[in-house]
Structure 1
């Protein structure tokens, strides 16, 4: 756990190096103008730096053959097809920007096909696993109350971990039982808390002041660290690992696993895909559709296990 007290959300910093060529800096500025998140901008630049290691030729002068050679280079570096596809997508974005800004007339990625990538189903937890996980914090202690509330809210609302740790007091409406979440692309969505999460949150908020330094009410984070500041994604990752072990869950669980469980369990209990999409904050319905495969796989395994001719 961090020993410093952050009174504002801990946002990612830009990964800038002094030896970046000017065209990378210009591309970063263009991404900022499009409203892309800092993590997204960092990811694109990180991928492009790796691709640029495949040749001494400046990236802004690449032709189709250079992109193909780059993919061969990534294969030789034991990069998975999924990683190669992601880096090819970064290259596409870079060259689309160049074409759009009139810096070149052609996109050297235009006729290159993506590496074949399978779509593994997202890891999830059974409802029994979730119950054990949610019951694992010691709610007699203030930190246990906080952790219980965080786990309940994460599962009840399907939040991204950044949305959870950056949740502020003015985004919580206890009287109506809703959260107002600002997600990717600054898109706002309203999410119902549900009875269990609402009760856990109320119990924690009654004692939240115990984590707030005397005379310091400047931090608006709902979930405070021991120092009375905003938590980090890494903080919550450690909490998940701690309570997974206490609950004796053998599956490798990450914070995002609770978001997967939220979506899968909603579909298992009859929720429609469009509603789940809105609750998750997905801009594209196809992103949400992966959870229908998870639910179908679960039904198939139940059929095979319990049907006399399964």
Structure 2
């Protein structure tokens, strides 16, 4: 079967969505990367994936890093991601019998620099959560959202994706829908449960009157499900009101949750389960954060550290 590049790409993306269940954001990124790969191959006179040679893949990697007339150079992480998408495409095509060889097998993306996640100190998190909210239903919602994010380590998308039935106040747990359709059961601390209870009893029914009966836990002013962008805005606003000068991102409380657990002595595999990481390797980056903290404390506190 000599499928055109576009046909095989479409088949591969369907495979990722249906059989692998990857997230929409990842699928969109792969689609963009492979569309650019298809344009590159077409410009090189290659119309069928079976005609791709290792030199084409290597040259595409160079174009990603150096840019061309239509595209600027990509950051190292973006270039690596695009090559991962290309390798996946060729591996799929070879395994499925669409091609009889894998030209990308020996082309490896550069290892990205290991970036440490940004976590707030415990005192900053406690100050953020303790900042008195303004009056009104949305303030109760915002307090419950922030408490839940830090108590569970949920991604913002997971928190806004919560439905009322996902919260079990008796067992003090929530069910989070993670990446790739993987669900996990996560315990919830008492302060977060109290904030959730206050919101669900006193505020959510008021917000729900403007909507159409959605099951979402966190509602916007129109009674619909709160968006990720709005949830991020809640976090940024709370950090500003608390006087936190550090940069705040959508993952700030998640990173803080994991780092504080590791610093408190939690086993890395337990933290892996709580975060919903498929591989413990992803979670182990938080152990580097704590090692760096120990090194800084040692350097400033030990009388012979700098000798």
1:177 aligns to what?
Answer: 172
Number of equivalences: 290
CA contact (8 A) 1:99 1:105 kept: yes
Q: Does residue 50 of the first structure (1) align with residue 45 of the second (2)?
A: no
Aligned pairs (5 A) from 1:150-161? 150-161=145-156
Aligned pairs (5 A) from 1:103-122? 103-122=98-117
Superposed CA offset, 1:70-108 (max 9, x none)? 111112222122211111100011111101110112111
1:29 aligns to what?
Answer: 14
Alpha-carbon separation, structure 2, partners of 1:221 and 1:106: 48
Higher mean alpha-carbon deviation, 150-159 vs 26-35, is at 26-35
Superposed CA offset, 1:175-212 (max 9, x none)? 22111122222222111111111111111111111111
RMSD between aligned residues: 1.8
Q: For structure 1, list consecutive stretches of 5 or more residues without a partner in the other structure.
A: 1-19
Q: Does residue 136 of the first structure (1) align with residue 131 of the second (2)?
A: yes
Secondary structure of the equivalent of 1:33? helix
Q: Which portions of structure 1, spanning 4 or more consecutive aligned residues, are displaced by more than 4 angstroms?
A: none
Alpha-carbon separation, structure 2, partners of 1:275 and 1:200: 25
Does the C-alpha gap of structure 1 residues 124 and 191 become closer, same or farther in structure 2, counting only changes over 3 Å?
same
- Aligned counterpart for 2:215 among listed residues 216, 220, 226: 220
Does the C-alpha gap of structure 1 residues 65 and 285 become closer, same or farther in structure 2, counting only changes over 3 Å?
same
Deviation, structure 1 residue 59: 6.5
Q: Does residue 265 of the first structure (1) align with residue 255 of the second (2)?
A: no
CA contact (8 A) 1:52 1:59 kept: no
Alpha-carbon separation, structure 2, partners of 1:235 and 1:140: 18
Superposed CA offset, 1:47-84 (max 9, x none)? 11223343423372321111111111112222122211
CA contact (8 A) 2:232 2:250 kept: yes
Alpha-carbon separation, structure 2, partners of 1:59 and 1:296: 50
Q: For structure 2, list consecutive stretches of 5 or more residues without a partner in the other structure.
A: 68-72
CA contact (8 A) 2:161 2:177 kept: no
1:229 aligns to what?
Answer: 224
CA contact (8 A) 2:53 2:103 kept: yes
Secondary structure of the equivalent of 1:98? helix
2:70 aligns to what?
Answer: none
TM-score with structure 1 length normalisation? 0.88
